[in-house]
């Protein structure tokens, strides 16, 4: 079931900070830290299946979304990147139903060519014509059961081969998506604050999403995004941080035979974190009352 909180946050003008996750424990860690919304990006999920985003299926997406949502007892809204929607309008409708059944609350769907090209990951991006894109959104909106299930219309035309840096085309696609019933807009390929200001003014009165972070030409603090009017912030770097840390840990093992030195505090912090994330105290209490009576 789609959770109503995300729609309410958007209506109340609250900032939506959505960190990328991919399994139960990463989802649970974010909940523990105080995040209220979760995100499963295509890029990260693509690495999780080991083939890259363009090779993902809607099944992969649903499996990851479901385990993330179950990981937090379905308590937090999950936003899922469904790229092009996995086909033509009939496939898109099936994709929406699959994800809504999986407990997802919002999806973003874009105008890239389907099947998606791997060249996208080196900046060569192709988009479909605007009328086909509008149909994608229209049929996605028609397929949802709950009004709380939100359709975020992404368009990549601005930095695509076909769009060639034309801002107006991105605005037109955003307007076409809104006409078809999209709940929010997500324009990619912005080169800096000037683009952000332009698109915010050109596409008013609807929540807009951004890939967020402090680094890069459009990187800024949450306050700065807020003042520029970007309400949905998608933080995609989680897997990068995770794999980077694992890399450093085991590079040391490979080179020296030893794990990197780690303070006793770090060890204790980890055990305490794991214990919290896995509800050890609760389980121990049940055991103390039953199989471990008194211990």
Partner 1 sequence: MANPKLRQTLQRGEMAVAPGTYDVPTARLMQYLGFENLYVGGFQTGTVLGTTEPLTTVTQMADIGKTVARACREDLPVILDAGAGFGDPVHVMHTVRVLEASGVTAIHIEDQTYPKRVSYHKGLEHVVPIDVYQQRLEYALKARKSEDFLIIGRNDGFRAAPDAVLPGGGGREEAVKRAHAAIEVGVDAIMIIGVSEREDFQYFRSQIKDIPMVALAGFGSLGVPDFKDVGHQVVIYPASTVQSSLMAIQAMYEPLLQSGEIFTPPTEAPGDLGHILSGMADKWEVEEATTGG
226-285 binders of partner 1 (CB under 8 A): 235, 237-251, 253-254, 256-262, 264, 266-267, 269-270, 273-275, 277-280, 283-284
- Site residue total, partner 1 (CB under 8 A): 85
Task: Report the nearest approach of partner 1 to the CB of residue 211 (Å).
Answer: 12
Is 291 among the residues that bind partner 1 (CB under 8 A)?
A: yes
In the complex, minimum distance from the CB of residue 40 to partner 1, in angstroms, rounded to a whole number: 14
Nearer to partner 1, 147 or 251 (CB): 251
According to CB under 8 A, which residues from 130 to 169 bind partner 1?
Answer: none
Q: How far is the CB of 202 from partner 1 (least distance, A)?
A: 26
What minimum distance in Å lies between the beta carbon of 24 and partner 1?
3
Residue number with CB closer to partner 1 (90 or 222): 222
Question: In the complex, what is the shortest distance from the CB of residue 200 to partner 1, in angstroms, rounded to a whole number?
Answer: 19
Report if residue 287 touches partner 1, rule: CB under 8 A. Answer: yes
| Residue with Cβ nearer partner 1 (179 or 284) | 284
Residues 19-38 within binding reach of partner 1 (CB under 8 A)? 19, 22-30, 33-35
Q: Which two tokens stand for residue 67?
A: 């385990």
Q: Is residue 294 a contact point for partner 1 (CB under 8 A)?
A: no
CA 233 to chain centre: 9
Half-sphere exposure at residue 66, Cβ-oriented, CA atoms within 13 angstroms: 11
Please report how close the Cβ of residue 259 comes to partner 1 at its closest, in angstroms.
Answer: 5
Rounded to whole angstroms, what are the CA distances from 188 to 52, 192, 199, 286? 19, 11, 11, 50
Rounded Cα gap, residues 66 and 149, in angstroms: 15
Taking the CA atoms of 186, 192, 195 and 196 in sequence, report the sign of the dihedral they define: positive
User: Please, which residues bridge with residue 209 across strands?
Assistant: 186, 232
Among 4, 75, 101, 119, contact with partner 1 (rule: CB under 8 A): 119
Quote the CA–CA distance of 181 and 136 in Å, as a whole number.
11
Strand, coil or helix: what is 88? coil
Angle between helices 89-101 and 58-71 (to 10 degrees): 20
Q: What whole-number distance in Å separates Cα of residue 217 and Cα of residue 236?
A: 16
Dihedral sign of CA atoms 49, 52, 58, 61 in order: positive
Which of 119-127, 137-145, 184-192, 202-210 is the region at the interface with partner 1 (rule: CB under 8 A)?
119-127
Q: Are strands 184-187 and 38-40 parallel, antiparallel or unpaired?
A: unpaired
Write out the binding residues for partner 1, residues 178-237 only, by CB under 8 A.
Answer: 212-215, 221-224, 235, 237
Whichever of 179 and 248 has its CB closer to partner 1, that residue is 248
**What are the E-state strand segments in the chain?**
16-19, 38-40, 78-81, 106-109, 150-155, 184-187, 208-211, 232-235
In whole angstroms, give the CA distance from residue 120 to residue 123.
5
Rounded CA separation 269/32 (Å): 14
User: Smallest gap, in angstroms, from Cβ of residue 210 to partner 1?
Assistant: 13
Among 51, 179, 194, 197, binds partner 1 (CB under 8 A): 51
Among 12, 122, 205, 294, binds partner 1 (CB under 8 A): 122
Q: Which of 18, 65, 71, 79 binds partner 1 (CB under 8 A)?
A: 71
Least distance in Å: CB of 72 to partner 1?
9
């Amino acid at each position: 079931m789609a959770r109503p909180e995300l729609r309410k946050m958007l209506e109340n003008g609250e900032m939506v900070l959505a960190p990328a996750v991919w399994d139960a424990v990463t989802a649970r860690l974010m909940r523990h830290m105080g995040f209220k919304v979760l995100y499963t990006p295509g890029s990260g999920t693509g690495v999780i299946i080991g083939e890259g985003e363009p090779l993902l299926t809607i099944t992969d997406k649903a499996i990851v979304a479901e385990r993330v949502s179950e990981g937090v007892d379905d308590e937090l809204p999950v936003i899922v990147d469904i790229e092009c929607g996995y086909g033509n309008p009939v496939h898109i409708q099936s994709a929406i139903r699959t994800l809504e059944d999986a407990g997802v609350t919002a999806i973003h769907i874009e105008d890239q060519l389907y099947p998606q090209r791997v060249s996208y990951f080196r900046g060569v991006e192709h988009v479909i014509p605007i009328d086909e894109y509008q149909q994608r959104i229209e049929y996605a909106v028609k397929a949802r059961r709950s009004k709380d299930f939100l359709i975020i219309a992404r368009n990549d035309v601005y930095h695509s081969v076909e769009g060639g840096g034309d801002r107006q085309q991105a605005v037109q696609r955003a307007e076409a998506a809104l006409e078809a019933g999209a709940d929010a807009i997500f324009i990619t390929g912005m080169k800096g604050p000037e683009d952000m200001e332009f698109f915010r003014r050109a596409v008013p009165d609807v929540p807009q999403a951004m890939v967020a972070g402090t680094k890069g030409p459009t990187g800024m603090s949450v306050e700065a995004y807020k003042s520029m009017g970007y309400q949905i912030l998608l933080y995609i770097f989680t897997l990068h941080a995770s794999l980077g840390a694992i890399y450093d840990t085991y590079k040391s093992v490979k080179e020296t035979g030893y794990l990197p030195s780690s303070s006793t505090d770090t060890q204790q912090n980890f055990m305490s974190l794991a214990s919290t994330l896995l509800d050890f105290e609760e389980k121990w209490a049940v055991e103390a009352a039953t199989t471990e009576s008194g211990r």
